[in-house]
Amino acid sequence: MKKILITRRLLKACEEKASKNFETHLNDNDELYSQSKVIEMSKGCDGILTSLTDKMDAETINKLPDSIKILSNFAVGFGNIDIEAAKKRGIVVTNTPDVLTDATAEIGILLILGACRRAAEGIQSAKDSSWKWSADYLIGKQLTGSRLGILGMGRIGQKIAKIARSLGMIIHYHNRSKLNSEKEQGATYHDNLKSLLSVSDVLSVCCPASKETINLINKETIEYLPKGAVVTNVARGDIVEDEALIEALDRRKVYAVGLDVYKGEPKLNSGYLKHKGAFILPHLGSATKETRTAMANLAIDNIEEFFSTGKCRNTVNE
């Protein structure tokens, strides 16, 4: 039986499934392992089921025992893993695409609604009993007829587009390449970021974090947005330069933000906290029972597929 280190606690049924198929090292207390602890604990193991909280940089990967053949990441994003360093060591890296599209798109829409309709302020005043209904109280931005710019029209971006369209939003997107008309569903393609941002009343960041996208939303690019735009991010914190976005909120260039992901999670830039217009969530994108179960099961299946066939269809570093 192959030996697998599972770095974070999974839902019970998924841990049971893993333990039927492998000899597992589980993390019952859901401790956040340091990089050196992951290296230490992986001794004698054949693979690691990693999570987005494990920083598997080149230094860590180079110190893993030779027996490690696969890093099965429990996420669709794999910015926490240096996939090239893994490839050099002959370690396959896999992810869990598709299964979290719907749940993450739901949170993407929640961010848009929460930021546009001033939900953070509304929740606070309801809790404080510091409100009364008035014709001009907590007036927000209506989605109907406003332009939604989607940065990264992959599976999650397309699902957000579909829901947003049903809310009456007009969809624009920027992607490495133009989608076919079936996937586009009438959305307008922009072949460059400036062009997309200049029509984005609401921006939804949906692209993966990569060398090309880190700090893509920065001091310079924020200026391309219309005044009073809303910026939301359901993808990865690394794509946004926090100081620039907070400064744009300060001077009302940006009306509100809706964020689920942050640089250096679980910390987040305290500048957001002083803004009433910041609707912020603690990385809940895939957090439903159905989706977390499907993600863990897929991460386990990826390991099985790899050890039984020598390949895995969800490999990201071929």
> Residues interacting with ligand DGY, by CB under 6 A?
52, 75-77, 100, 283, 285-286
> Structure tokens of 40?
């230490």
What is the closest distance, in whole angstroms, from the C-beta atom of residue 99 to ligand DGY in the complex?
Answer: 9
265 classed as catalytic: yes
Q: At what angle do helices 155-166 and 101-116 cross, to 10 degrees?
A: 50
The reply to whether 165 belongs to the active site is: no
Nearest of 148, 163, 156, 183 to residue 102 by alpha carbon: 156
Of 276 and 289, the one with the shorter C-beta distance to ligand DGY is 289
CA distances from 87 to 40, 53, 82, 90, 316 (A): 21, 20, 9, 5, 10
Count the neighbouring beta carbons within 10 Å of the beta carbon of residue 294.
18
Least Å from the CB of residue 97 to ligand DGY: 9
Map residue 255 onto helix, strand or coil.
Answer: strand
236 is catalytic: yes
Helix (H, G, I), strand (E, B) or coil at 10: coil
Tokens of 302: 């990826």
Name the catalytic one among 118, 174, 283, 292. Answer: 283
The catalytic residue among 8, 172, 190, 236 is 236
Least distance between ligand DGY and beta carbon 296 (Å): 11
CB of 141 to ligand DGY, least distance (A): 26
Q: Which is nearer to ligand DGY, 50 or 146 (CB)?
A: 50
Strands (E), 22-167: 23-25, 47-50, 70-73, 92-94, 147-151
Active-site positions?
236, 265, 283
